[in-house]
Chain A
């Protein structure tokens, strides 16, 4: 490498490295540190090592200063299951549509792809507000039930509402990678499978799913990650039963002012995300090596 080239690389990389090094890594390191510090009595921290922040979540605590409460673990598990459910619903909704769009003539494809991405650009909070309107007992859904002479069900402030809201806002995240995979699917393989006597369902299970697996996995990861740490959706649509770990974190920072505990919760979210990411990328790398 010539010195000139080296200088060019340094100049090009320096801004991002410096900026992200300070303002991205910095915050992550600080919450990692905070999660191991002692909470101060009136907010703030004391700079002494302390592992009960995590103990409170996972089941060890001294029982005096900090008490283990299974509620945190329960909320963590709930967040994971909400994330998983969101992924599953997104997948079930997007998969058939991806096939439908992939078979359309070029011009129509562009239009429908555009229509799928468009709501993504209409503000997040606006889209959630829409569901707040729809799910209200006096909203369109509730009125439909009343008109049919039925008692409107409790839609709002339920786990279902949270999952519905997350599905709605994350659909484009699932759709685009999935569509790329479905669109790349070699139709000859599907035909060959039918030709060899596989029923449509067998073809789906043995050929279509494995062949579109990269898209399924990619879409699932990028939906799961923001879903599991979400706090806006449960904040707006979820009641007490829809509380997620993101809401806990927010509470610790903005109302309880227990920053070390909040940081510990955030570290847990980050841990989950890292596990998912690492599993996914190593699997993808392995699959890539075989292909």
Chain B
């Protein structure tokens, strides 16, 4: 019984990781005709991404579109800009809301908490087209700004949930003790609540950053001509067909997100141990 469970779990993890391994392996395959037939090791597709490979200059080779390097860089820059702004905004607003809901008693508190789950539970496509119709109705041009606004709706909700979970785990008696020792509300918040809450806020922010960098569906509907983000860039490449360069970009994205996620989880684990 135990053994078969273990075997099943092994297959399960193989299922989880095999696809990622496949991408990474193929990204180093030098076969230009059929990228799925192994031919030899190469870094050409990575070089091609940044416009430094020889194949990049040879129009007869299977190379991605000539304009793609600048586009890729622009998309990455857009993604980072959006993620930076949305992360800051949603972290502040989400944390404020969590503080209000978790630490004060007022009528409609339960409703507030429940309502904050909605943006997260709303299917992406509904929110995406809703935002599209909304922006066009109020006459707002699609741009990075609309992407930022759109993403903030659900990112705020993610941060709220993470921070609120952390707040619920905090001992309110510590705050009472601080007040009892003569600290004002503000001092108590700064010296007692905030330090304990920090891992939660950090975790929520990190989650928001990762999700923002990865958001496809909502951004897809509200990004304008000049405001492609990285996932959308990759999506449109994938839609046009399989190319070895996509594997190279994908590998880099996997690497970056794994590093960010691992750091985040490690920070959280460390925060919990303390």
* Chain A residues engaging chain B, CB cutoff 8 angstroms: 1, 5, 8-9, 11-13, 15-16, 19-20, 23-24, 26-28, 30-31, 34, 93, 96-97, 99-101, 103, 110, 112, 114-119, 121-134, 136, 138-140, 143, 168, 171, 200, 222, 225-226, 228-232, 235-236, 246, 249-250, 253-254, 259, 262-263, 266, 269-270, 273, 277
Do A122 and B132 touch (CB < 8 A)? Answer: no
Whole-angstrom CA separation of A96 from B15 in the bound complex: 14
* Docked CA distance A230–B123 (Å): 8
CB distance from B112 to the nearest CB of A (A): 7
Residues of B within 8 A of A263 (CB): 129, 133
Q: Is the CB of B153 within 8 A of A23?
A: yes
| List of A residues within 8 angstroms of B257 by Cβ | 121-123
Please indicate the chain A residues that have their CB under 8 angstroms from the CB of B132 in the complex: 253
User: Can you list 27 residue pairs at the A/B interface with Cβ under 8 Å?
Assistant: A5-B104, A9-B104, A12-B96, A12-B100, A13-B100, A16-B97, A23-B149, A24-B122, A27-B131, A31-B126, A93-B12, A112-B9, A117-B261, A118-B258, A119-B17, A121-B210, A123-B254, A124-B214, A129-B234, A129-B242, A131-B19, A133-B23, A225-B121, A246-B125, A262-B129, A263-B133, A269-B126
Q: Tell me if B50 is interfacial: C-beta within 8 Å of chain A.
A: no
With A15-B93, A123-B257 in contact, do A30 and B137 touch (Cβ < 8 Å)?
Answer: yes
Whether A20 lies near B239 (C-beta < 8 A) is no
B34 in the interface, Cβ–Cβ < 8 Å?
A: yes
Are B130 and A171 closer than 8 Å at their CB atoms?
no
A118-B262, A124-B231 in contact; A269/B93 too (CB < 8 A)?
Answer: no
Instruction: Name 15 extra pairs, CB < 8 A, besides A13-B97, A93-B12.
Output: A5-B104, A8-B104, A15-B92, A16-B94, A23-B153, A31-B130, A31-B133, A34-B133, A100-B8, A112-B9, A122-B254, A140-B36, A226-B123, A229-B123, A266-B130
A99→B3 CA distance, assembly (Å)? 12
Known: A34-B133, A119-B16. A269 touches B231 (CB 8 A): no
Task: Determine the distance from Cα of A130 to Cα of B194 in the docked complex, in whole angstroms.
Answer: 42
In the assembled complex, how far is the CB of residue B157 from the closest CB belonging to chain A, in whole angstroms?
8
A229→B13 CA distance, assembly (Å): 27
Within the complex, the shortest CB–CB distance from B222 to chain A, in Å, comes to: 10
Q: How many A-B residue pairs have CB under 8 A?
A: 221
Q: What is the chain B residue whose CB lies nearest that of A248?
A: B125
Residues from chain B with a CB closer than 8 A to the CB of A99 are 5
B56 interface residue (CB < 8 Å to A): no
- Cross-chain contact A269 with B125 (CB below 8 angstroms): yes
Binary interface profile of B, 94-122, with partner A (CB < 8 Å = 1, else 0)? 10110110001110000010011011011
Interface residues of B (CB under 8 A from A): 1-2, 5-6, 8-9, 12-13, 15-20, 22-23, 26, 34, 36-37, 92-94, 96-97, 99-100, 104-106, 112, 115-116, 118-119, 121-127, 129-134, 137, 149-150, 152-153, 156, 160, 210, 213-214, 216-217, 221, 231, 234-235, 238-239, 242, 246-247, 250, 253-254, 257-258, 260-262, 265, 269
B23 touches A126 (CB 8 A): yes
What is the CA–CA distance of A25 and B85 in the complex, to the nearest angstrom? 22
Residues of B within 8 Å of A112, CB to CB, are 9, 13
Q: Which residues of B contact A97 (CB under 8 A)?
A: 5, 8-9, 12
A96 — which chain B residues lie within 8 A by C-beta? 5, 8-9, 12
B153 CB to closest chain A CB (Å) equals: 5
Q: Give every chain B residue within 8 A of A31 (Cβ-Cβ).
A: 126, 129-130, 133
Q: Is the CB of A168 within 8 A of B19?
A: yes
- Residues of the A chain whose Cβ atoms lie less than 8 Å from the Cβ of B246: 129
Known: A12-B100, A96-B8, A253-B221. A129 touches B126 (CB 8 A): no
Nearest A residue to B254 via CB reads A122
